[in-house]
Amino acid sequence: MPEDSSSLNSAEVARSLAERIFSQYPNTTESLKWLKDNRPEFATRVADFDAVVAKLNEIIANPNSANEQYGVEINQLAVVAGKHVPSLSEAELEANGQFHHSPALKAFFQGKREFGWADEEYDPNRPARSAMGIFLEGYGRYVGLRLTKGPEQAAKIQKVFVYAFEATLLVEYPNSELLGDIKEWMRSDADKFSEPIQQLLK
């Protein structure tokens, strides 16, 4: 995917903030630093992330355009997320505008308490894995917090977003480095996906 400099800059703001917030997790910090030191690798993942979010919005706006392999996951997202999932650039603008009250910042601090698993599953052969895991889950939490103040409902929306994102990534970008980072987690959660996605994960 071509690099979008605004999205990459927004992702770098998030990466830098995450490095400070997750400093108590040495492996996650190492993963986040690896992305900083390997900008082309980071840019590739950000481009794929942005492309999937754009695809989600395209399908939410026009459900008939959904690939039947991930139609179930997209429909579930549309039910809870409304008509639009914010892009990385939109998320940064919102965070700058609201700052301490922004859903993005809240998502980071909630993630600090909840995403410790990413540190334990650090893989030196895929050094971006832990960072991209918290990035995806954190973005899902951000989407949830934009829509509700209830923690349980926000967590539910987070999961629906993540499954829709992962299913779309798997089908549309099967050679993505981002997919390589998270695919083993998808396989461990295979029973959470629709049958077509389960088949692709085998």
Q: Which two tokens stand for residue 23?
A: 């400093």
What pLDDT does residue 196 have?
97
When pLDDT is cut at 50, 70 and 90, the band that residue 168 belongs to is very high
pLDDT tens digits, 29-69: 999 999 999 999 999 999 999 999 999 999 998 888 889 99
CA dihedral 8, 43, 73, 129 (to 10 degrees): -120
Domain boundaries, the chain: 5-201
C-alpha to C-alpha distance for 99 and 92, rounded to whole angstroms: 10
Predicted TM-score of the model (pTM): 0.92
pLDDT tens digits, 139-163: 999 998 888 878 788 889 999 999 9
Q: Which two tokens stand for residue 51?
A: 């492309």
pLDDT tens digits, 65-108: 889 999 999 999 988 887 789 888 888 776 665 555 567 777 77
